[in-house]
Amino acid sequence: MKASGQAAVHGVGAPTIYRFGDLNIHHTQVFLSRKHVYAMVNKKPATPQHVLVVPTRPVKRLHDLTELETLELFTCTREIIKRFEE
- Chain-centroid distance of CA 37 in Å reads 6
Q: Residue 62 belongs to what domain range?
A: 2-85
pLDDT digits (tens, 9 = 90+) for 2-33: 444 444 555 556 678 899 989 999 999 999 99
Task: Quote the number of domains for the chain.
Answer: 1
Domain harbouring 73, CATH code:
3.30.428.10
Q: Does the pTM exceed 0.85? A: no
Sequence-ordered strand ranges (E) for the chain: 9-10, 17-20, 23-26, 30-33, 37-41, 51-55
- Cα separation of 20 and 22, whole Å? 6
- Cα separation of 52 and 23, whole Å? 14
- Cα separation of 36 and 57, whole Å? 7
The burial of 17, by beta-carbon neighbours within 10 Å (0-12 exposed, 13-18 middle, 19 or more buried), is given as: exposed
pLDDT digits (tens, 9 = 90+) for 42-81: 888 888 889 999 999 999 999 999 999 999 999 999 999 9
